Amino acid sequence: MNALNHTDHNKAVCIENLMVKYNETPVISGVSLNVESGDYLGIIGPNGGGKTTLLKAIIGLIPYASGNITVYGKKPGKLGRLISYVPQMTTLERTFPITVSEVVLTGTLNAAFKPFHQYTKSDKEKADELLHTVGIYKLKERMISELSGGEFQKMLIARALAVNPKLMLLDEPTASVDANARDQIFSLLNELNRHMTIILVTHDLSAVSSHVKTLACLNGKLVYHGVTELNEAVVNALYGCPIDLIAHGVPHRVLKMHEESE
């Protein structure tokens, strides 16, 4: 371990006073957030709270209006293979004519165009291994249109892993996934977190309380960032109204309802 590195380089992500706009409307503003290397950050927030927007800004898929983002000291869009991404599944074309293993193989593509590129034997072995890791190796020759939602998610995770990233961003990887697959995905993420930094967007509050190390709550602005402990005030600020919250390890401990409205 080289502890003498510049501090910024120990930070996986540094975000300072970030503002992102779509057509002049700010979607997130004033977001400052540091993610330590090795962290497992959970991001929660209501629909439209800007979670996907934040991930895309970190990757460099959308420009930001003001503020600053660095990932391991580098600017978004110039990250090489430091970072990988599991997109929100709803944004992809599920009928596209491509097989599972071809999708995973795209994760091995390099930035520079190589004429008549063919995947090498080691690319293919890597893809097979990753399909084993996520547990869908037997589906490798299937067309993606023939996958269930959970299998599709696992394929996207395998593709993201083919990049060999230091930082992995996942946007609701357990949406539309049954309880069993959900548990598999979370234990895989726990395993991965031993050697990579993870940022996970999820609506699954119970998973958040039992798996992630730190928590960020995003509703246009950063409502909370810190240890994984939700209290009523934060949840109110986040969702605008009290919600049932299954908290930390204690199953079905629901936060007390409170009557007054804002």
Ligand X SMILES: Nc1ncnc2c1ncn2[C@@H]1O[C@H](COP(=O)(O)OP(=O)(O)OP(=O)(O)O)[C@@H](O)[C@H]1O
Enumerate binding residues for other proteins (CB under 8 A). 22-23, 56, 59-61, 80-81, 83-85, 87, 91-93, 96-98, 102-103, 105-107, 109-111, 113, 115-119, 143, 145, 159, 163
Cα–Cα distance for residue pair 256/148, rounded to 1 Å: 37
Amino acid of residue 191: E
Cβ distance to ligand X smaller for residue 50 or 107: 50
C-beta of 45: minimal distance to Mg ion in Å? 9
Site string for ligand X, 52-91 (x = CB under 6 A): xx----------------------------------x---
What angle is formed at CA 201 by the lines to CA 82 and CA 92, rounded to 5 degrees? 80
The token duo for 46 is: 């209501």
Phi then psi for 215, rounded to 5 degrees? -130, 140
Cβ atoms within 10 Å of 40's Cβ, excluding its own:
21
Cβ distance to Mg ion smaller for residue 104 or 171: 171
User: What residues numbered 12-71 form the site for Mg ion, per CB under 5 A?
Assistant: 52
C-beta of 47: minimal distance to ligand X in Å? 4
Cβ contacts of 112 within 8 Å, gap of 6 or more: none
Among 18, 40, 45, 108, binds ligand X (CB under 6 A): 45
Cβ distance to ligand X smaller for residue 27 or 100: 27
Residue tagged 């602005």 (tokens) = 221
